[in-house]
């Protein structure tokens, strides 16, 4: 599919292909306009043509700017959500050390490590491919069931359990937000508007009357290339977890390294931090 090729290819390659395709298409439009509409006719209506092109270009630029900003903010929000989710997992892992039942601590930490591995090794590749995966859900569900079944024997355990339940609820919210971000993108109807207005603007520019056909082509090609480059940027920002311009799994990988170091050293939470 086209989406897979766009996000699996380097941005410079996909953008170059789209720019070249746009320039060729604009050149064909110019040839067709030149063939069917005489230069005298086009020059006679230059004032109206340029007025229409200027207004359409301004409106189109505002539309592209708005969509680019929205896509960039969505990417930034997804990055924040991933960082929050990873931090919550790390907090729960080290907070479990406060429970006196060490067998329970081991079980809870094992469930969290399973969750981290599933996110990094199974869910993340699926997100990068444009799919949603619940591979990590069983590990988190096991952690919730185990923690909910715990009956604190001391006031210290009760306090730790209360804090961990609160952190677990926040973790579920962060996970839900990440999955929603992975599934969210610019609607197809918006893409049709972008393409239609781009073609319309370039097409009207081809109706301008210039004495030199080559100069007209150079101007039209530059105008088209500018539009296509911005649209290609929006494409790269569209899916927060796909392509080179995307959210990485580094926060989860960092937590895994911290958890591994703590597991290897066998240190208490205070020393690990």
- Quick one: pLDDT at residue 269? 39
Residues 165 and 92: their CA atoms lie apart, in Å, by 9
In a domain, 233, yes or no: yes
Q: What is the pLDDT of residue 264?
A: 53
Distance CA 9, CA 90 (A): 34
pLDDT single digits (tens) 72-118: 999 999 999 999 999 999 999 999 999 999 999 999 999 999 999 99
Residue 242 in this model has a pLDDT that exceeds 80: yes
Please state the rounded mean pLDDT for residues 36-65. 92
DSSP line for 111-160 = HHHHHHHHIIIIIHHHHHTT----TTHHHHHHHHHHHHT---SSHHHHHH
pLDDT at 273: 34
The number of distinct structural domains making up the chain is 1
pLDDT band at residue 194 using 50, 70 and 90 as cut-offs: very high
Taking the C-alpha atoms of residue 179 and residue 26, their distance in angstroms, rounded to an integer, is 40
Share of the chain above pLDDT 70, in %: 95
Domain containing 257 equals 2-268
Residue 273 is assigned to a structural domain of this protein: no
Taking residue 173's Cβ as centre, other Cβ atoms within 10 Å add up to: 14
User: Is 216 within a domain?
Assistant: yes
């Amino acid at each position: 599919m086209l989406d897979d090729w766009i996000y699996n290819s380097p941005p410079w390659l996909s953008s170059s292909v789209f720019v070249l395709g746009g320039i060729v298409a604009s050149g064909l439009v110019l040839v067709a306009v030149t063939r069917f509409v005489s230069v005298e006719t086009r020059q006679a209506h230059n004032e109206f043509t340029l007025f229409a092109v200027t207004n359409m270009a301004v409106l189109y630029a505002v539309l592209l700017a708005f969509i680019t900003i929205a896509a960039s903010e969505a990417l930034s929000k997804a990055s924040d959500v991933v960082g929050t989710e990873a931090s919550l997992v790390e907090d729960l892992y080290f907070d479990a050390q406060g429970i006196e039942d060490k067998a329970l601590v081991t079980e809870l930490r094992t469930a969290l490590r399973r969750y981290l591995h599933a996110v990094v090794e199974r869910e993340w590749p699926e997100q990068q491919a444009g799919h949603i995966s619940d591979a990590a859900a069983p590990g988190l569900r096991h952690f919730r069931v185990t923690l909910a079944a715990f009956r604190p024997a001391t006031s210290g355990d009760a306090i730790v359990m209360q804090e961990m339940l609160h952190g677990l609820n926040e973790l579920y919210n962060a996970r839900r937000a990440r999955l929603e971000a992975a599934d969210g993108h610019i609607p197809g109807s918006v893409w049709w508007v972008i393409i239609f207005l781009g073609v319309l603007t370039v097409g009207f520019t081809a109706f301008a009357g210039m004495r030199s056909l080559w100069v007209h082509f150079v101007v039209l090609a530059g105008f088209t290339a500018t539009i296509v480059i911005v649209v290609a940027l929006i494409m790269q920002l569209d899916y927060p977890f796909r392509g080179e311009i995307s959210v990485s799994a580094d926060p989860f990988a960092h937590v895994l390294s911290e958890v591994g170091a703590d597991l290897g050293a066998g240190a208490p939470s205070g020393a690990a931090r």
